[in-house]
Amino acid sequence: MLVSAGLGVIVYATCYTAVYLYPWMSLSIFTVGVFLALSAIVAGTAAIFLEKYKQPPLSK
């Protein structure tokens, strides 16, 4: 989740700079950054739940 937060800051700074040079590129960078940040949050949340509700191994 820290990676997601760091990625969000980097994408925001990049978009803020790129909006003056290439507005459409800024929009695409923002879209990709939001997708990556949300996917990192979903993956982190899924990992937490999978670890919390892990089933014990079956004994023979």
Write down the residue that tokens 């999978």 correspond to: 50
pLDDT (0 to 100) of residue 60: 64
User: HSE-up of 21 (CA within 13 Å, CB side)?
Assistant: 8
Q: What is the mean pLDDT of the chain?
A: 79
Question: Residue 25 pLDDT > 70, yes or no?
Answer: yes
Which among 16, 11, 45, 13 is positioned nearest to 31, based on CA atoms?
11
**CB 11 within 8 Å of CB 30:** yes
pLDDT at 1: 65
Residue 27 has a pLDDT of 81
Question: What local confidence, expressed as pLDDT, does residue 33 receive?
Answer: 79
- Per residue in 31-58, pLDDT (tens digit) is 887 887 788 888 888 888 888 888 777 7
